[in-house]
Chain A
Amino acid sequence: MSGLVDIVSQPLAIESGVFGLLVMVLVTGLTGAGRANQLAGWLSLTGLAALTFAAAIARPGAVAFDGTFAVDELAVFVKIVFLGSALLSVLAALGIRDGAMLRRSPEYHVALLASLLGMLVLASARDLVLLFVAFELMSIPLYVLAGFERKGEAAPEGALKFFLVGSVSSAVILYGLSFVYGATGSMSLAAIGPALDARHPLLLLGMGLAFGGLGFKIAAVPFHMWVPDTYEAAGTPYVAWLSVAPKAAGFVAIIRLYIDGIGPAVMMWVPAIATIAAVTIVAGNLMAIPQQNIKRLLGYSGIAHIGYLLMGLVAMSVSGVGMLLFYLVAYLFGNMGAFFVVQAVARTEQSDQIDVYRGLAQRSPALALSLLVFLLSLGGIPFMAGFWAKLFVFWAVVERGQYWLAFLGAVATVVALYYYLVVAKRMYIDAPTRTDAVRVPGVLLIAIFVCMAGVLVMGLYPDPWVAGAIQAASSLF
């Protein structure tokens, strides 16, 4: 066992594993003819399960390439998040047996693994160039995947929007980073803080631009426009993943650049981030209200959640970043779970409209209950993961003295609960239009069950999760 731990604790061990898996899936796709479609999915699933386990037992502390690539506690934590969410997404995707997935499943999995590889490298990158390259490795396959299921006109539109916005934001990030490099003369993140006063105009300009670009990636308002269209058009298991993992990656990049890079002088960024957080929370929640399509609704609610995650950043403290990480995990289970239920319902109903959820509680009580649990968790109701997540970020900003932001966040929660309850009303209060139960494939059932367990376990026993998140954050300060 200890030998195994040693191996997986090597720098780049997990990344090499994902790369190997990627090659295997690619080769399977090229040679396996008809059965390859099935095989690719199961291969990815097994490989990811093994790698998630490896990441979970890995020890932090490894460093490679002169400190350019560091596996600190934060990196280990988010790597587990990336791998775990990818695992759930692949599991749910196995439940799809038609359309593009039937014909070109290996392509899908290769692209997904490539993007995952980018995220994993990003989590450890402590160098501007590596950071950017990893970011692009993550982003480009995401654009491909967004247009993977080309049904109707919506998919190309959503994918293209995502691609255009994404490439522009990448360019903006790169432009910003070039100023930072120009000002400090070094590519290393560790060199930024000591080299320059945080108020140096070039640094301000560079970091500001980079924040704008990253804002697009995490979909903070006003950089959020691509989200609902992309979510609506793309395949649901992919969207479930897209709504969590790349956002987490964006936050890791922000944490690396600002907290790791600038150092204590980062406090001057607090008002700007607080403003963006407030605007994101309010706008995301308000725009979610009129939605008739549940994927768009979850898209807008996801934007609001980005605002809450930014609140954790506003605190700029161990507890703040720790709570941000805790929030990410809670959001992972709640949001992915909700999307999986949407996938299950859409499979039977061929529609993502909220209207098709009428009377779901009488048709499939368990499915309705799980969606209710996920939505209540997202809404921050006690005894679910989301409650602690919200509470902790509020607490972190109150400690920083930003009472107004906590207050705003708490009030906006009520707005969010309104549109979550509208879905609950459809499921529980309205009469069903048909009586047959929604049939759910076994793999999807497992995925939903895992998310449900995550939400409830975190909700009832948050202690170890909080400790883990705090420990991951403590390496930064």
Chain B
Amino acid sequence: MIRRWRAWLVQVTALIGRGRSDREIDDELDAHRELLAAEYRRSGLNDEEARRAAAAAFGPIASAAAIYREQRGIRRLEDLGRDVREATRSLTRSRARRRRSVVVVALLTVCLTMGVSVFAIVDGLLLKPLPFRDAGRLFIVGPPSRLDPTRPGSVDFGDLDALRRSAGVDGAFSYDFDADRAKDQFRPVRERHVSAGFFDVLGVAPALGRPLGVDDVGRQPRAAVIGYSLWQAALAGDPQVIGRVVSIGDDRVLVRGVMPRGFDFPHATTMWSLAPLVSPGPQRVRMRSMQAVVRLAHGASPAQLRVSGERVVAVPLAEYLRPENAWSIVPVSCATLLLVVLGLTHVTVAQATHAVERARETAIRAALGSGWVRIARQWLIESALLTIVAATLATFAVPAVLALIIRLLPVDLTFGQPIAIDGRAMAVGALAAAVAMAALAAASVVALRRGHLPDVLRGRIAASRHGSAARARYVVLGAQVAVVTGLVYVGALALRSFVLADRADLGATAEGLFAIDWNDRRPCDVPAASRRDIAARVRRLPDVISVAFGPSPFEPNRTMVQFSATPMRTLAEARAASAIEIRGVSPNYFTTAGIALIEGRPFRPSGDERDVVIVSQSLARRVFPDGLAVGRHVNVAGPVQIIGVVADVRVMGPDVPPRELVYTPANFAGVSGLLVHLQPDAHERIADITAIVRGAVPDARTMIVTDVATQRDHLLDAQRARAALLGLLGVVSFGLGMAGVFAMTAETVQRRLRDAAIRLALGASPVGVMRELVSSVLSVVSAGLLVGLVAGGLGARAARSLFYSVQPGDPWMMVTVVVAMLASAALAAIVPATRVARLDVLDLLEDE
């Protein structure tokens, strides 16, 4: 067996390196014949007789060489090698063929790259299961959230215990879901408190050490499992740290385990420790601050679960973690898929046309004895070569394109599911490449067999005059125009949306504004005297236009407060109150942040008012639909009076409803930071300002400086990226589509040249013939345009959420797209049609 494998291996190696050359074989056989002749000479024959006798005894040298060569390599592989060499020569024979091969490879590369990249994203976001054991049985559960009753709200330890004991639950754990210390991407230690059972219920185990256990509860210093990145960065990947107390940053923890690389749940956590147990007192409102996850038993339903006698809302963990707008990538994916199909159609049409153009060459091959199987095999090998080159190029292009798309995507992809080129994406890529290869080969062979090959095999070359083939070509042309028009229309809407989103009014100023926050944006009491001192000293600095206390107008983190238009006297009333974001601000905050006062008055400059609030317009409208909010009394952790209404700030971006906000004087809710308006390019003043704050607010330990203009840009990024992506698809499809329309029109005209020549010979005017050619193509294009516009309009309507401030049926955009498409199609038709005017009728008919 080994002997046979060795021989096979040597044969294959010989095939690649060509092994013993033909020349060596001939030399060896010649030497044999010479030795034979020498023997005859020794027996007394003269030179000539000896050579003749040796030739007769040796037999035909060609047949000996053939047997010898047979052993050299594997015959089929040799045949394949020969076919590949022939196909390579055929694809690169002339400049025109090389150009054509490059175009086909480029189109295929684009199709494969786009297809695989988009699949990787769709798979990662929507299809792939979470990397936990039997992840389909994991649910996030909790009482209905106050902000959105369809989502599970937070729980406390009492609720978690109840869930653990419920029938149909195999296990449950909780994690703190709103921990500021876990959110700051710039901190290496991002710690989450989890309950015991976190690792068991998820079905994950540390790569080193062990998970946290019940014996770790209440331990000092606290026990923690750390993430792989933190282990590498802070502890140099030292495996000896397990079971030891180590210093990480300014903290000391007992390291129980290290999670495997890539484990990222909850997202961006680098340290997991046990939550300190807080027993809920019967007399006070229980603080629910954790998210609960349960693992249901096989066949159990979350419907029967209860906490505090209340039915819970349960959402599959995968669905809960999936970004809210993950489904918004579906239209983008469909558009890409269409683009890929469009590209493949172009390639196959081009290949079929090329096959017909090579009918003469095929006829010669047929005359030399090649059957259609042999001819089909050659086309298959040519197609395979083109596809392999394209697939190789795509392998290099995919990572870059994937990274670009991920950057452009309007979706927060940081949800614990890695998006990468894995085995699934590779398999899809290989499948797409195989389909492309089969389509290329089939297009060529079908084109030859249906239109030409029977004639070719009979030794005749005939132009296709089949009416059905011509009709089919027109249908393909119309369908292409429809697809391109739809994509271009959606792309045009996206580009318009891009421009509008860029100029979107978010309700506050951003240019030149800087927010300086302390202590992870936790509000703290800064006495009025200190505030006045800070403001006065900052204002004295050069380049400072104004200064106020309060957060960035676009601050995403929030401090919530119970809000009610009626007094909250009982626990039930308190629970019924809605949670509203509260911001402690100084009197000049609104002018500094550029937030317009719509009615009422601002806080008094003295800053010592109590029990008054200013509310945002959307809150005022919701609570007081009569429009009379100013002067009314509401409850914000106590009775207060509304003294003013200010414009809404779109904290979450231009297309998300504004947050309802309650502004209170800084002395009421404490302040979390300073907002400074600086002259352009004066950000070097920030260091002076932070020094002043540090001197005046001893509690301000950590300082975070936010450029509000950058923060505003981030809010617009999603819109702009989404629009840019769709616009890019529109532009690419326009280019691809026009190339296809041009090629098909040119091919159609080319095929009709003979008819045109006959008509010219019969006295028709060249202009008339040209006009007819162009109008026949344009009528097909117009039909495609109409279908495409309707489809594009419907598509845009279905994906309306992707656009900012544009209507799916925008008439001006429709007119623009129709004019652009018609102009391009007319150009594509006219240029080849002008060849009619230059036709030499006699030459053409003689050729036929």
- Genuine A/B complex: no
